[in-house]
Chain A
Amino acid sequence: GENVEQHPSTLSVQEGDSAVIKCTYSDSASNYFPWYKQELGKRPQLIIDIRSNVGEKKDQRIAVTLNKTAKHFSLHITETQPEDSAVYFCAASRSGGYNKLIFGAGTRLAVHP
């Protein structure tokens, strides 16, 4: 079945360093790839997404890259800050019809001052 693998499961960085989280997906028809951030005790919220017609998208300190040939996509956070500490989830979906999100298992990011 459809599957999304996410690595690493935990990531610890020093404030100001960069963080990279990687995901691979199994369904070659997937063409929408969102990233959600879940702070402790809060609901997941979308932080950035990418569609298969682009290879990279940036929004201030965060960026996502997509390699459709290899079926993987990554989240890059630069100049990390303590408020970036959270669990990050990647997901993949087809568009149209009964599309639905398949989530990765999550990465717990800790940014130490």
Chain B
Amino acid sequence: DADVTQTPRNRITKTGKRIMLECSQTKGHDRMYWYRQDPGLGLRLIYYSFDVKDINKGEISDGYSVSRQAQAKFSLSLESAIPNQTALYFCATSDTSGGFYNEQFFGPGTRLTVL
């Protein structure tokens, strides 16, 4: 089945380290998103990309960067990790078929702990 996958699924790192979270999809969707989930705060958008040449900041982009290497791959980087970036990170995809906003499909999540 077409799916959205994330690697790693769990990561523990130290303050100041650079870390990359990767997302791949076999759904053939053009749009990809990175969210952060914290208890009581819901899902907050970090970055989103509507095609390989299009990158947009979300509501909480500070401290993060992204790269859309191909239509199927969208990676999130923390250049210098800090403890308050400890969270559950989700990648999601959607397509533009039908000309209206479509369902977002989420990956399984990456649990990141910054010590």
Contacts and interface: CB of A to CB of B under 8 A. Distances in A.
Interface string B101-115: 101101111000000
B44 A103 contact: yes
Interface range on chain A: under 10, 10 to 19, 20 to 34, or 35 or more?
A: 20 to 34
A6 B42 contact: yes
Contacts, number: 48
B42 A101 contact: no
B42 A46 contact: no
- By secondary structure, the A interface counts as loop
Q: Select the residue from B43, B58, B109 with max chain A CB neighbours within 10 A.
A: B43
Interface residues of B, number: 21
Nearest to A101: B104
Contacts of B44: 103
Contacts of A43: 90, 106-109
A79 B7 CA distance: 38
Interface of A: 1, 6, 9, 32, 34, 42-46, 49, 51, 89, 93-96, 98-106
23 contacts: A1-B59, A32-B100, A32-B101, A34-B104, A43-B90, A43-B106, A44-B43, A44-B106, A45-B106, A51-B100, A89-B42, A89-B43, A94-B101, A100-B33, A100-B45, A100-B58, A101-B104, A102-B45, A103-B42, A103-B43, A103-B44, A105-B42, A106-B40
